[in-house]
Amino acid sequence: MSTENINSILVADLGNVHTRLVLIDLVEGQYRLIASARARTTAEPPLGKVALGLEHAVQSLTNLIGREILSRDGENLFITPESGGHGIDMFLATGSAGRPMRVFMVGLTSEVSIPSGQRVLAGSYITLTDMLSPDDFRSEEEQINAILSGEPDMILIVGGTDNGADDILLELVHKVARALSLIRHGVMPSVLFAGNKTLRPQVKALLEEYTNVFFAKNVRTSYEEESVLPAQVELAVMYDEYRTKSPGGFAEVGRYSMVGVVPTTQGYISAMRYLNELPQKGIGPLCIDVGSANSTILGGAHKELHYIIRTDLGVGHNAVNALNAVQYENVTRWLPFDITADALRDYMHNKQLRPTAVPGSTEDLMIEQALAREIVRMMFNQAREAWDLGEGELLPNFQPIIAAGAILTEAQHPGVSAMLLLDALQPTGLVELRLDPHNLISSLGVVAYLKPVATVQAMETGGLISLGTAFCPLGHVRQGRDAMVVQIKQQGAATINHTVRGGEIWMAPLLPGLMVDVTVKLRHGLRIDGKRRIKRRVITGAAGLIFDARGRPLVLPRPKDRAMRYLDWQMAMMGRERRVKAADVSAAEEEPLPDLESLVPELDDIQGRR
């Protein structure tokens, strides 16, 4: 279908908790985000019809902007094409709601093809039930039960280089055929073959009798070359087919969408490929989405895109799993109050029973934010190893860092969102932080399939919320001692001078969108990009500018100091005066600060005297 005359695009993301909508339209020749809305997802029983939540969200959008979008003709859900300021030209959908697809994997070697297969699966919401390879020493009976007992929805077969040896892989395919021939009741899994292409006719002949067989380009055409994208695209198609058969009424929404219901992660991957190609300040962008049932991390490292999806980590539907994975001690170290392991477990079980509910008290909110920090930390630690990013606690220079998922994007204040990211990821140097509260990135990623220019323009015209730049020096700080001496010059306004003490974080109170000149002098032992004095022109964000003098690696306060320090940090990041040190701050602001240049030797001297 031609997409030439498409102006307005409505994209829905069917999440586990929310159905989010973004409307993109042509404004003065450029595609822009016009409006967004959301409603509760209605895929699960007792409603079991995801289109209902979609309709609620569209109605909210209509109420917001006065544009009629829902059709009343009874045949179509939407008024298409756009006419007279109403309706839309195109509807697209992404989704993370629904049960993850169960996949059994067959691979030739545990060193080459199986890791490639795992990378294929990393792009979708799947649960791996088991694996089979030639070095599997279980009996034939056990192997057949391994294939079938997990009731897989799909079997992925990878292995062999094109035109390479084929006997061993073919023997594995025979085992799969034998297993499939035994299924009489329940779900017959589809098969995706992404191995040695010369085997395709035999694979088809062996398996097509029992099930649908899909083929994708070999993930390893040669030993050196890996190509997972074609298999991922095919997997996305199969996932869509799987979901249309699953409960939740996804088939109906899939019919309205020109691309079916694409996994949200595929949207992310598509958009991140674009972001990864842009001129970069750091090694590439990093995007993290902490959802209710799933969590996703995507990173572009030196133009190569990596991603990990965890279908067992989330702050709602998977809160209990997440707590078990990250462990009690790691969650409570972020809490300024005591909570027993039993009470925390009870909390997570209750959250899992009612995942759509939001925290009702500050304590509840802190618990969920603590869990989110640890999920992010765990995801990144896994990514560090999988993406070969080296060892250590600190984050490589990803720019920008983008957060999605309500727990990260809808904190009490944008400053708190920023702090959650800083706590969990511990970036160093200067880092740009952004929020994606509307799931715009994944939506635009799907738009790119059909209308790439809309993706590029909508991304550039500011669909994301910039939190601002965080200045995060590397090194250890001394608590309470001057650590960062900050000077912020803005046009037409007074210069701001502020000293950030060791162990503190400060959000400069600036309106978003201002271009300011920032000079930062650092105490001896602290460095940004290897320097003790830096001067940068930056644009402020929703969290103004952030100066994090808590040191890297971040050392958390001792339990007895936690309550005070955490509340200080939180107040600072909400732009409120800290309770105990308010007098100090006002004094610092009233008295003119010494010349920045002269301060460096002073700090050196202090250091030397110690």
Partner 1 sequence: MPYNPETTVIQGLARVIRERRLPPQAIPRMSQMLVGAHIEAVTQVLEGDVLRDYRIIDVADYFNLPRATADQVAELIETREGQRVQFGGILARRSRGRRTRTLISPVDGLVIKVENGRIYIQVNERVLEVMAKIPADVEEVESHRVRLIGQGAVLQCAWGNGKFNYSVYKYLPDEGFVGLSKLDPRISEYRNVALISTQPINKGDLLVAQQHEASAVVAPAMPSDLREFAMGLTFPVLLTEGFGQRRPTALIYRLLADNIGRQASFDAAVPDRWSWERPEIVIPLPAGGLPPTPTLDQALTVGAMVRITRAPWEGVVGQVVEIPTTPQVVDSGLRVPSAKIRLSNERVGLVPLANLELLG
60 binds partner 1 (CB under 8 A): yes
Applying CB under 8 A, among 67, 243, 317, 523 the residue interacting with partner 1 is 317
149 binds partner 1 (CB under 8 A): yes
400: preceding bond cis by omega (within 30 degrees): yes
State the minimum distance, in angstroms, from the CB of residue 531 to partner 1. 37
How big is the chain by its Cα radius of gyration, in Å? 26
Residue 18, strand partner residues? 40
Angle between helices 140-149 and 167-180 in degrees, nearest 10? 60
Q: Is-contact 19 98, C-beta < 8 A?
A: no
State the minimum distance, in angstroms, from the CB of residue 362 to partner 1. 6
247 binds partner 1 (CB under 8 A): yes
198 binds partner 1 (CB under 8 A): no
Q: β-pairing, 18-27 with 30-40?
A: antiparallel
359 binds partner 1 (CB under 8 A): yes
Residue 411 or 472 having the CB closest to partner 1? 411
Residue 187 or 325 having the CB closest to partner 1? 187
47 CB-near residues (< 8 Å, 6+ apart): 53
201 binds partner 1 (CB under 8 A): no
Backbone angles phi and psi of 379, in degrees to 5: -60, -45
Q: Which of 74, 70, 54 is nearest to 254 (CA)?
A: 54
Mapped onto helix, strand or coil, the DSSP state of residue 429 is: strand
Q: Is-contact 180 188, C-beta < 8 A?
A: yes
Region near partner 1 per CB under 8 A, out of 219-227, 358-366, 467-475, 482-490: 358-366
Region near partner 1 per CB under 8 A, out of 28-36, 100-108, 148-156, 481-489: 148-156
Residue 470, strand partner residues? 431, 546
Residue 349 or 579 having the CB closest to partner 1? 349
Applying CB under 8 A, among 32, 56, 86, 204 the residue interacting with partner 1 is 56
What x/- string results for residues 410 through 439 when contact with partner 1 is judged by CB under 8 A?
Answer: xxx---------------------------
Map tokens 């070697």 to a residue. 109
Residue 353 or 587 having the CB closest to partner 1? 353
Q: Residue 157 CB: number of other CB atoms within 10 A? A: 28
385 binds partner 1 (CB under 8 A): no
Applying CB under 8 A, among 140, 304, 338, 460 the residue interacting with partner 1 is 140
563 binds partner 1 (CB under 8 A): no
Binding-site size, partner 1 (CB under 8 A): 53
Applying CB under 8 A, among 2, 5, 83, 361 the residue interacting with partner 1 is 361
State the minimum distance, in angstroms, from the CB of residue 241 to partner 1. 17
Phi-psi region of 58 (alpha: psi -120 to 50; beta: other; left: phi over 0): alpha
Please give the residues from 499 up to 558 whose contact with partner 1 meets the rule CB under 8 A.
Answer: none
42 binds partner 1 (CB under 8 A): yes
Applying CB under 8 A, among 65, 353, 555, 587 the residue interacting with partner 1 is 353
Whole-angstrom distance, CA of residue 445 vs CA of residue 24: 13
Q: β-pairing, 515-522 with 482-490?
A: antiparallel
State the minimum distance, in angstroms, from the CB of residue 324 to partner 1. 12
Region near partner 1 per CB under 8 A, out of 35-43, 122-130, 459-467, 531-539: 35-43
Applying CB under 8 A, among 128, 187, 450, 554 the residue interacting with partner 1 is 187
What is the H or E stretch that residue 599 is in?
Answer: helix 596-609
Q: Is-contact 484 521, C-beta < 8 A?
A: yes
Region near partner 1 per CB under 8 A, out of 122-130, 360-368, 521-529, 535-543: 360-368
Please give the residues from 151 up to 170 whose contact with partner 1 meets the rule CB under 8 A.
Answer: 151
State the minimum distance, in angstroms, from the CB of residue 272 to partner 1. 29
Applying CB under 8 A, among 71, 181, 324, 461 the residue interacting with partner 1 is 181
Q: Residue 260 CB: number of other CB atoms within 10 A? A: 22
C-alpha distances in angstroms, 443 versus 20, 61, 262, 439? Answer: 10, 16, 10, 6
Q: β-pairing, 504-508 with 465-472?
A: unpaired
346 binds partner 1 (CB under 8 A): yes
Residue 147 or 500 having the CB closest to partner 1? 147
Please give the residues from 73 up to 102 whose contact with partner 1 meets the rule CB under 8 A.
Answer: 99
What residue type is 284 in one-letter code? G
SS (H, E, C) 165-219: CCHHHHHHHHHHHHHHCCCCCCCCCEEEEEECHHHHHHHHHHHCCCCCEEECCCC
Q: Is-contact 265 120, C-beta < 8 A?
A: no
Q: Please name the residue ranges forming H helices in 66-99.
A: none
273 binds partner 1 (CB under 8 A): no
Region near partner 1 per CB under 8 A, out of 191-199, 347-355, 471-479, 525-533: 347-355
Applying CB under 8 A, among 32, 40, 333, 533 the residue interacting with partner 1 is 40
Applying CB under 8 A, among 84, 186, 530, 608 the residue interacting with partner 1 is 186
Applying CB under 8 A, among 1, 73, 83, 184 the residue interacting with partner 1 is 184
81: preceding bond cis by omega (within 30 degrees): yes
Q: Which of 54, 25, 22, 23 is nearest to 39 (CA)?
A: 54
46 binds partner 1 (CB under 8 A): yes
Residue 384 or 578 having the CB closest to partner 1? 578
345 binds partner 1 (CB under 8 A): yes
553: preceding bond cis by omega (within 30 degrees): yes
Residue 468, strand partner residues? 433
Binding site for partner 1 (CB under 8 A): 39-40, 42, 44-48, 52, 56, 59-60, 63-64, 99, 140-141, 144-145, 148-149, 151, 181-182, 184-187, 247-248, 317, 342-343, 345-350, 353-354, 356-362, 364-365, 410-412
